[in-house]
Amino acid sequence: MISTQRLIDLMRAVREKKPLLHVITNRVAINDSANGALAVGASPIMAEAHEEVETIAAISGALELNIGNLTPYSIQSMLLSGHAANQAGVPVVLDPVGAGATEFRLQTVQKLLDELDIAIIRGNAGEIAALAGEDWGAKGVDAGEGDGDIVAIAERVARKWHTVTAVSGAADTITDGQQTYCIKNGHPLFPYMTGSGCLNGVIQAAYAAVSPNYLEASVAASVNYAIAGQLAGEKCAGPGSFRQQLMDELYLLTEEKIRRYAAFEEVARS
């Protein structure tokens, strides 16, 4: 069982180590992703030129690959940086945005998962269900409303690709295929901020950079991010101020807030 103290230790470790995060992401979420990374104490660099991605990935604390705006060029950027990260022992986080929306996305994600060693896959339920070959009624990049067992689906994905799988939603499910956690923090305004999942992925990378135990890293990143969102939601009027408050709450997160609000538990294996 992961302790609340561990969530606090990892939050502090990110602030102390200020890991360099190499991020290849979509143009919708790129600015919020960079600002959110800074707010939690990391140093983001958004870079996808083929001439430099291998060099940057190899010296980073973690690499995050987000397929939100895929192009043949960016796929090559992801493969080059991913292989360089793997060779250097740098953890790679993958966000399979809209994986069920087109064959192009699904095949690209499968290629990345087959060729690269991925530490954490982070997506919404529709995206993770698509990877498991399950029908979920996802709508573009939005999760949709499936009626399958998301814990069982996440565990299958984790086992198939030997990776931690983090499914976001009203409750988050994090699993390495053996141990599974359910996280109940969050706020209903989250889905109204585009890129809030993409930023979640970048924060997963920040935590993976400071913890070789990627299950712990993913649970800590997910709980701490969701607590910040919960506190932001309580202070704001709607999606516009939620986005602003979220950046503030990520920066202002404390040990006391984590102790008071963390709501996560281990769930029985399905």
List contacts with ligand ATP (CB under 6 A): 29, 97, 124, 141, 143, 168-170, 172, 186-188, 190-191, 194-198, 200, 225-226
Question: Which residue in 19, 61, 68, 123 binds ligand TZE (CB under 6 A)?
Answer: 68
State the alpha helices, DSSP H only, in 99-213.
Answer: 103-115, 125-131, 150-161, 196-208
The 13-52 site mask, x for binding ligand TZE (CB under 6 A), equals -------------x-xx-----------------------
- Closest approach, Cβ 253 to ligand TZE, in A, equals 23
Nearer to ligand TZE, 19 or 195 (CB): 195
**Amino acid code (one letter) for 191:** P
Residues in Cβ contact with 147 at an 8 Å cutoff, skipping those fewer than 6 apart:
none
**Amino acid code (one letter) for 27:** R
Strands 120-124 and 92-95: parallel
Nearer to ligand TZE, 68 or 233 (CB): 68
CA-to-CA distance for 68 and 188, rounded, in angstroms?
22
The 175-194 site mask, x for binding ligand TZE (CB under 6 A), equals -------------------x
- Closest approach, Cβ 122 to ligand ATP, in A, equals 8
**Amino acid code (one letter) for 14:** V
Q: How far is CA 127 from CA 105, 143, 171, 254, in A?
A: 10, 7, 15, 32
> Is position 96 an interface residue for ligand TZE (rule: CB under 6 A)?
no
